[in-house]
Amino acid sequence: MTEVSGFHHAGIVTRDLDGLVRRYTELGFTVSPRSRQLLGAGADEPPVQGRTADRCVLFGDSSIELFDNVDESAPDPWHTRAMVERYEGLRLLNLETVDAVVTAERLAAAGLRTSGVLDRACDVDTEDGVRTVRAKAVHIDPRSTPEGYLGLAQYLTRDYAHRPRSIVHDNGARGIGAVLIVASDDAFDAIVDRYTRILELSPYEEGPLTLLRTGSVHVEFVRSADVEKVLPGEPVPGGSYLAAMTIRVDDAAEARDIVEDNGIPTQPTGDGFFVSARDACGAGLFFTG
């Protein structure tokens, strides 16, 4: 049985962190205070202060990281400059692992090139004062992931990261339910195969979508030739890309009222509503009850 247990976080990169935070607040999310990130440059190397700072939408079991490059003179071990230079938006996906060391060994045995186990840390304000969030991560070689930056992460101090005062959202959000990936025709099979090996699941088809699903991880794929069937009229930043997330909410109708009251357009879906990537800073958002 795989040690991958869910979504850890998705990352939205920007050149305007204040504007990104303002929009996600208007979408009804609570956003955590700003933190500067300490990032491991290589396996068994101590983390150093990187060039990024983040603020997060925290759910308890997953999160959305909103981040920006704030110090161009600082090291960039996790390629964040390359992310934003290509395009802003949903650029990063980390799955949750219960054991980063086991994951790194298993993925290497499965033929996937990885970074090995990297360390990550950031200081956060908690009810008991400043505490350090620590995590371990394994990155898939970004040269093999045209859809975005892919990794797996393990919290060592989850309680500090998912602080009680930060996980209650006006829109009733409870977590990331699914991630939708658009894949170019020539990369589609390789992209699906990679996630199949990571999750140790068999894909199946449902209309234009190819799906990998467990109880806690739903990854959906659509060929770029079929994207209009799933995301009509949406921006197309590349041949393959991380296109959208599904956000679980307590009540989709109440969440939609909050979003529309803040002047953000929505589109109805079968079990909720959708906010275009144009209106959510490069990440399409499906809200579902």
As a whole-number percent, the residues of the chain with pLDDT over 90 amount to 72
Residue 90's contacts (CB-CB under 8 Å, 6 or more residues apart) are 10, 11, 12, 148, 241, 242, 243, 244, 245, 277, 282, 283, 284
Across 162-190, b (16+ Cβ under 10 Å) vs e yields bbeebbebebbbbbbbbbbbbbbeebbee
Q: In terms of Cα–Cα distance, which of 19, 13, 47, 52 is closest to 36? A: 52
Q: Please enumerate in sequence order all residues whose Cβ is within 8 A of that of 29, keeping only pairs 6 or more positions apart, or say none.
A: 57, 64, 169, 170, 171, 173
Identify how many contiguous H helices and E strands the chain contains and give both numbers.
7, 16
Q: Which segments within 111-196 are labelled E, that is strand?
A: 114-126, 129-140, 149-155, 173-183
Among 3.40.50.2000, 3.10.180.10, 3.40.50.450, 3.40.50.300, name the CATH number for the domain at 173-288: 3.10.180.10
226 contacts 232 by C-beta, under 8 angstroms: no
Is residue 264 scored above 70 in pLDDT?
yes
Confidence at residue 42, expressed as pLDDT on a 0 to 100 scale: 67
For residues 153 and 94, the answer to whether their CB atoms sit within 8 Å is yes
Poorest-pLDDT segment among 118-132, 187-201, 231-245: 118-132
Listed range (77-91, 193-207, 223-237) with the worst mean pLDDT: 77-91
CB 12 within 8 Å of CB 66: yes
Task: Give, as one character, the DSSP assignment of residue 77.
Answer: T
pLDDT-based confidence at residue 211 (cuts at 50, 70, 90):
very high
Q: Are the C-beta atoms of 175 and 7 separated by less than 8 Å?
A: yes
Give the global pTM: 0.92
Unique residue bearing structure tokens 């079991």: 61
Pairing of strands 47-58, 63-69: antiparallel
Domain with CATH 3.10.180.10 in the chain: 4-166, 173-288
Q: Which of 13, 130, 158, 24 is nearest to 76 (CA)?
A: 13
Query: Which of 179, 213, 6, 190 lies closest to 112, judged by CA?
Result: 190
Binned at pLDDT 50, 70 and 90, residue 153 comes out as: very high
Average pLDDT over residues 257-264: 98
Residue 268: burial class (beta carbons within 10 Å; 0-12, 13-18, 19+): exposed
Report the mean per-residue pLDDT for the chain: 90
Burial of 60 (0-12, 13-18, 19+ CB in 10 A): middle
Residue that the structure tokens 């958002």 belong to = 285
Q: How far, in Å, CA of 67 to CA of 56, rounded?
A: 8
Q: Enumerate residues 6+ apart whose C-beta is below 8 A from 22.
A: none
Q: Quick one: tokens of 23?
A: 């929009």
Q: Which CATH superfamily is domain 4-166 in?
A: 2,3-Dihydroxybiphenyl 1,2-Dioxygenase, domain 1 (3.10.180.10)
Bigger pLDDT: 212 vs 127: 212
